[in-house]
Amino acid sequence: MRSLGDDYVKAGNYPTPITFSLDWFTTPRLEFRRHRAVTNPVHIIGFLSQWKLYLEALPAAKDGQTFSGQRLDTSLLEKMSSEQLGQLYELMQATKDSIPTNVAPFSALPSIHALLLEAKAKKGAPTSILGLERLNWSNILLSGLTFDAIGKAIDKDEVWVASAFYGQAKFSAEELQKLAEVLDLPHAELTAGLGDHWFPYRGLGSAVPTDPVVYRLYEGIMVYGHPIKALINEKFGDGIMSMIDCYVKVDKKPDPKGDRVVLTFDGKFLPYARW
Protein backbone atom coordinates (compact mmCIF):
# COMPACT_ATOMS: atom_id res chain seq x y z
CA MET A 1 0.00 0.00 0.00
CA ARG A 2 2.85 2.39 0.91
CA SER A 3 4.60 1.68 -2.41
CA LEU A 4 1.46 2.35 -4.42
CA GLY A 5 0.79 5.54 -2.48
CA ASP A 6 4.32 6.79 -3.12
CA ASP A 7 3.83 6.19 -6.84
CA TYR A 8 0.91 8.63 -6.81
CA VAL A 9 2.86 11.29 -4.96
CA LYS A 10 5.78 10.95 -7.37
CA ALA A 11 3.42 11.08 -10.35
CA GLY A 12 2.60 14.73 -9.69
CA ASN A 13 -0.17 16.95 -8.41
CA TYR A 14 -3.17 15.09 -9.79
CA PRO A 15 -6.71 15.24 -8.48
CA THR A 16 -7.62 12.36 -6.19
CA PRO A 17 -10.34 9.83 -6.99
CA ILE A 18 -13.55 9.87 -4.98
CA THR A 19 -13.28 8.09 -1.62
CA PHE A 20 -16.50 9.59 -0.17
CA SER A 21 -14.88 11.24 2.78
CA LEU A 22 -16.18 14.69 3.72
CA ASP A 23 -12.87 16.28 2.74
CA TRP A 24 -12.93 16.00 -1.04
CA PHE A 25 -9.66 17.69 -1.87
CA THR A 26 -7.09 15.57 -0.01
CA THR A 27 -3.71 14.45 -1.31
CA PRO A 28 -3.08 10.83 -2.29
CA ARG A 29 -0.68 10.36 0.63
CA LEU A 30 -3.31 11.52 3.13
CA GLU A 31 -5.90 9.14 1.70
CA PHE A 32 -3.51 6.20 2.11
CA ARG A 33 -2.76 7.23 5.70
CA ARG A 34 -6.46 7.34 6.49
CA HIS A 35 -6.84 3.74 5.37
CA ARG A 36 -3.65 2.24 6.80
CA ALA A 37 -5.48 0.82 9.83
CA VAL A 38 -8.03 -1.05 7.70
CA THR A 39 -7.88 -4.82 8.31
CA ASN A 40 -10.86 -6.08 6.30
CA PRO A 41 -9.33 -7.80 3.20
CA VAL A 42 -12.37 -6.91 1.05
CA HIS A 43 -12.01 -3.21 1.88
CA ILE A 44 -8.24 -3.29 1.30
CA ILE A 45 -8.59 -4.98 -2.10
CA GLY A 46 -11.35 -2.58 -3.13
CA PHE A 47 -9.35 0.47 -2.04
CA LEU A 48 -6.15 -0.61 -3.80
CA SER A 49 -8.01 -1.70 -6.93
CA GLN A 50 -9.66 1.69 -7.34
CA TRP A 51 -6.40 3.53 -6.83
CA LYS A 52 -4.62 1.24 -9.28
CA LEU A 53 -7.27 1.90 -11.92
CA TYR A 54 -6.89 5.61 -11.26
CA LEU A 55 -3.11 5.46 -11.61
CA GLU A 56 -3.43 3.62 -14.93
CA ALA A 57 -5.85 6.33 -16.13
CA LEU A 58 -3.37 9.15 -15.49
CA PRO A 59 -2.13 10.67 -18.75
CA ALA A 60 1.35 10.29 -20.13
CA ALA A 61 1.43 13.94 -21.27
CA LYS A 62 4.84 15.60 -21.31
CA ASP A 63 3.66 18.45 -19.11
CA GLY A 64 2.48 15.94 -16.50
CA GLN A 65 -0.54 18.11 -15.70
CA THR A 66 -3.21 17.21 -18.25
CA PHE A 67 -6.02 15.15 -16.76
CA SER A 68 -9.35 14.95 -18.57
CA GLY A 69 -10.87 12.04 -16.65
CA GLN A 70 -13.74 10.00 -18.04
CA ARG A 71 -17.51 9.90 -17.94
CA LEU A 72 -18.94 8.26 -14.81
CA ASP A 73 -20.43 4.84 -15.49
CA THR A 74 -24.11 4.81 -14.54
CA SER A 75 -23.76 1.25 -13.22
CA LEU A 76 -21.44 2.60 -10.51
CA LEU A 77 -24.09 5.08 -9.40
CA GLU A 78 -26.57 2.27 -8.84
CA LYS A 79 -24.17 0.62 -6.40
CA MET A 80 -23.67 3.74 -4.27
CA SER A 81 -25.47 4.48 -1.04
CA SER A 82 -27.64 7.57 -0.61
CA GLU A 83 -24.87 9.20 1.45
CA GLN A 84 -22.26 8.50 -1.21
CA LEU A 85 -24.55 9.92 -3.90
CA GLY A 86 -25.09 13.00 -1.77
CA GLN A 87 -21.37 13.56 -1.38
CA LEU A 88 -20.81 12.99 -5.10
CA TYR A 89 -23.45 15.59 -5.88
CA GLU A 90 -21.79 18.07 -3.51
CA LEU A 91 -18.49 17.49 -5.33
CA MET A 92 -20.19 18.05 -8.67
CA GLN A 93 -21.62 21.33 -7.38
CA ALA A 94 -18.23 22.44 -6.05
CA THR A 95 -16.72 22.05 -9.53
CA LYS A 96 -19.38 24.40 -10.89
CA ASP A 97 -18.92 27.19 -8.38
CA SER A 98 -17.19 29.60 -10.70
CA ILE A 99 -17.23 30.58 -14.36
CA PRO A 100 -13.72 31.58 -15.55
CA THR A 101 -14.48 35.22 -16.36
CA ASN A 102 -10.88 35.95 -17.34
CA VAL A 103 -10.96 33.72 -20.44
CA ALA A 104 -12.89 33.85 -23.71
CA PRO A 105 -15.76 34.14 -24.33
CA PHE A 106 -16.67 35.26 -20.78
CA SER A 107 -14.00 37.96 -20.62
CA ALA A 108 -15.90 39.83 -23.35
CA LEU A 109 -19.21 39.70 -21.46
CA PRO A 110 -20.59 41.73 -18.54
CA SER A 111 -20.32 39.87 -15.22
CA ILE A 112 -24.10 39.40 -15.09
CA HIS A 113 -23.80 36.73 -17.80
CA ALA A 114 -21.31 34.74 -15.73
CA LEU A 115 -23.85 34.92 -12.91
CA LEU A 116 -26.54 33.47 -15.18
CA LEU A 117 -24.29 30.64 -16.34
CA GLU A 118 -23.19 29.80 -12.79
CA ALA A 119 -26.82 29.71 -11.62
CA LYS A 120 -27.73 27.45 -14.55
CA ALA A 121 -24.85 25.08 -13.71
CA LYS A 122 -25.98 24.77 -10.10
CA LYS A 123 -29.58 23.95 -10.96
CA GLY A 124 -31.02 20.60 -11.95
CA ALA A 125 -30.99 18.73 -8.63
CA PRO A 126 -31.97 19.33 -4.99
CA THR A 127 -29.68 21.63 -2.96
CA SER A 128 -29.24 18.85 -0.41
CA ILE A 129 -29.89 15.17 -0.97
CA LEU A 130 -28.46 13.67 2.21
CA GLY A 131 -31.11 11.80 4.14
CA LEU A 132 -33.60 11.77 1.26
CA GLU A 133 -34.99 8.66 -0.37
CA ARG A 134 -33.07 7.25 -3.31
CA LEU A 135 -34.13 8.88 -6.59
CA ASN A 136 -32.95 8.53 -10.19
CA TRP A 137 -29.51 9.88 -9.38
CA SER A 138 -28.11 8.73 -12.72
CA ASN A 139 -30.15 11.43 -14.45
CA ILE A 140 -29.50 14.00 -11.72
CA LEU A 141 -25.73 13.55 -11.54
CA LEU A 142 -25.14 13.23 -15.27
CA SER A 143 -27.27 16.18 -16.33
CA GLY A 144 -28.25 19.65 -15.22
CA LEU A 145 -30.67 22.40 -16.03
CA THR A 146 -30.68 22.70 -19.82
CA PHE A 147 -31.29 25.70 -22.05
CA ASP A 148 -34.33 23.84 -23.35
CA ALA A 149 -35.78 23.56 -19.82
CA ILE A 150 -35.19 27.27 -19.21
CA GLY A 151 -36.75 28.04 -22.57
CA LYS A 152 -39.90 26.14 -21.70
CA ALA A 153 -40.12 28.03 -18.41
CA ILE A 154 -39.93 31.45 -20.07
CA ASP A 155 -41.64 30.46 -23.35
CA LYS A 156 -38.59 30.79 -25.60
CA ASP A 157 -36.59 28.44 -27.84
CA GLU A 158 -33.42 26.87 -26.45
CA VAL A 159 -31.16 28.50 -29.06
CA TRP A 160 -32.59 31.94 -28.30
CA VAL A 161 -32.12 31.34 -24.55
CA ALA A 162 -28.50 30.25 -25.05
CA SER A 163 -27.81 33.34 -27.14
CA ALA A 164 -29.30 35.55 -24.41
CA PHE A 165 -27.12 33.87 -21.77
CA TYR A 166 -24.11 34.77 -23.90
CA GLY A 167 -25.20 38.37 -24.34
CA GLN A 168 -26.45 38.03 -27.91
CA ALA A 169 -30.16 38.58 -27.25
CA LYS A 170 -32.19 40.72 -24.84
CA PHE A 171 -34.58 39.44 -22.18
CA SER A 172 -37.83 41.34 -21.69
CA ALA A 173 -38.88 42.52 -18.22
CA GLU A 174 -41.34 39.63 -17.96
CA GLU A 175 -38.69 37.11 -19.02
CA LEU A 176 -36.25 38.45 -16.42
CA GLN A 177 -38.93 37.95 -13.75
CA LYS A 178 -39.45 34.33 -14.81
CA LEU A 179 -35.71 33.77 -15.14
CA ALA A 180 -35.12 34.98 -11.59
CA GLU A 181 -37.65 32.42 -10.36
CA VAL A 182 -36.19 29.56 -12.42
CA LEU A 183 -32.57 30.24 -11.38
CA ASP A 184 -33.29 31.40 -7.81
CA LEU A 185 -31.58 34.73 -8.46
CA PRO A 186 -32.58 38.15 -7.10
CA HIS A 187 -34.86 39.83 -9.64
CA ALA A 188 -33.43 43.23 -8.76
CA GLU A 189 -29.92 42.04 -9.63
CA LEU A 190 -31.00 40.73 -13.03
CA THR A 191 -32.89 43.95 -13.76
CA ALA A 192 -29.88 46.05 -12.73
CA GLY A 193 -27.66 44.14 -15.13
CA LEU A 194 -30.00 43.32 -18.01
CA GLY A 195 -32.92 45.75 -17.68
CA ASP A 196 -34.26 48.37 -20.07
CA HIS A 197 -30.93 50.23 -20.13
CA TRP A 198 -28.93 47.26 -21.47
CA PHE A 199 -28.70 46.23 -25.12
CA PRO A 200 -26.63 43.42 -26.65
CA TYR A 201 -23.32 44.08 -28.37
CA ARG A 202 -23.66 41.32 -30.91
CA GLY A 203 -20.72 39.39 -32.21
CA LEU A 204 -18.61 37.36 -29.80
CA GLY A 205 -15.05 36.18 -30.19
CA SER A 206 -12.15 36.85 -32.55
CA ALA A 207 -12.45 37.29 -36.33
CA VAL A 208 -11.09 33.76 -36.80
CA PRO A 209 -12.44 31.70 -33.86
CA THR A 210 -10.17 29.29 -32.03
CA ASP A 211 -12.76 27.16 -30.25
CA PRO A 212 -13.04 23.91 -32.28
CA VAL A 213 -16.84 23.88 -32.47
CA VAL A 214 -17.12 27.55 -33.43
CA TYR A 215 -14.21 27.22 -35.87
CA ARG A 216 -15.94 24.38 -37.70
CA LEU A 217 -18.96 26.63 -38.24
CA TYR A 218 -16.59 29.34 -39.52
CA GLU A 219 -14.92 26.77 -41.75
CA GLY A 220 -18.32 25.74 -43.08
CA ILE A 221 -19.05 29.33 -44.14
CA MET A 222 -15.58 29.68 -45.68
CA VAL A 223 -16.11 26.50 -47.73
CA TYR A 224 -19.82 26.69 -48.51
CA GLY A 225 -20.56 30.40 -48.06
CA HIS A 226 -20.28 31.44 -51.71
CA PRO A 227 -22.07 28.33 -53.03
CA ILE A 228 -24.91 29.04 -50.56
CA LYS A 229 -25.00 32.68 -51.71
CA ALA A 230 -25.21 31.55 -55.35
CA LEU A 231 -28.10 29.23 -54.55
CA ILE A 232 -29.93 31.94 -52.60
CA ASN A 233 -29.54 34.34 -55.52
CA GLU A 234 -30.66 31.64 -57.94
CA LYS A 235 -33.77 30.73 -55.96
CA PHE A 236 -34.75 34.13 -54.50
CA GLY A 237 -33.04 36.84 -56.51
CA ASP A 238 -30.70 39.66 -55.49
CA GLY A 239 -30.87 39.82 -51.70
CA ILE A 240 -29.80 38.29 -48.39
CA MET A 241 -31.04 35.93 -45.70
CA SER A 242 -31.87 37.95 -42.60
CA MET A 243 -30.11 37.07 -39.35
CA ILE A 244 -32.53 39.35 -37.50
CA ASP A 245 -35.74 37.66 -38.64
CA CYS A 246 -34.18 34.22 -38.30
CA TYR A 247 -34.85 31.07 -36.30
CA VAL A 248 -32.01 28.70 -35.48
CA LYS A 249 -32.46 25.06 -34.47
CA VAL A 250 -29.97 22.47 -33.23
CA ASP A 251 -31.17 18.89 -33.51
CA LYS A 252 -29.65 15.47 -32.91
CA LYS A 253 -30.21 12.79 -35.57
CA PRO A 254 -29.39 9.17 -34.72
CA ASP A 255 -27.24 7.40 -37.31
CA PRO A 256 -25.69 3.91 -37.33
CA LYS A 257 -22.29 5.46 -38.01
CA GLY A 258 -22.63 7.97 -35.16
CA ASP A 259 -25.10 10.65 -34.11
CA ARG A 260 -25.29 13.65 -36.43
CA VAL A 261 -25.75 17.35 -35.69
CA VAL A 262 -28.50 19.06 -37.69
CA LEU A 263 -28.31 22.87 -37.84
CA THR A 264 -31.22 24.81 -39.32
CA PHE A 265 -31.15 28.53 -40.14
CA ASP A 266 -34.67 29.65 -41.03
CA GLY A 267 -34.23 33.28 -42.16
CA LYS A 268 -36.43 35.70 -44.03
CA PHE A 269 -35.27 36.68 -47.52
CA LEU A 270 -34.65 40.41 -47.86
CA PRO A 271 -34.26 41.82 -51.42
CA TYR A 272 -31.93 44.73 -51.99
CA ALA A 273 -33.77 48.03 -52.53
CA ARG A 274 -33.70 49.66 -55.97
CA TRP A 275 -33.97 53.42 -56.42
219, 234, 260, 274: the active-site residue: 219
Q: Of 49, 111, 172, 242, which one is the catalytic site residue?
A: 242
Q: Is 242 a catalytic residue?
A: yes
What is the C-alpha separation between 57 and 72, in angstroms, rounded? 13
Question: Of 216, 234, 260, 274, which residue is the catalytic one?
Answer: 216
Q: Is 216 a catalytic residue?
A: yes
Q: Which residue in 54, 47, 45 sits closest to 8, CA to CA? A: 54
Given its phi and psi angles, is residue 231 left (phi above 0), alpha (psi -120 to 50 degrees) or beta? alpha
33-63: buried (b, 16+ CB within 10 Å) or exposed (e) per residue?
A: eebeeeeeeeeeeebeeebeebeeebeeeee
- Which amino acid, residue 124? G
252 bridge partner residues? 261
- Known catalytic residue: 260? no
Give catalytic residue positions.
216, 219, 242
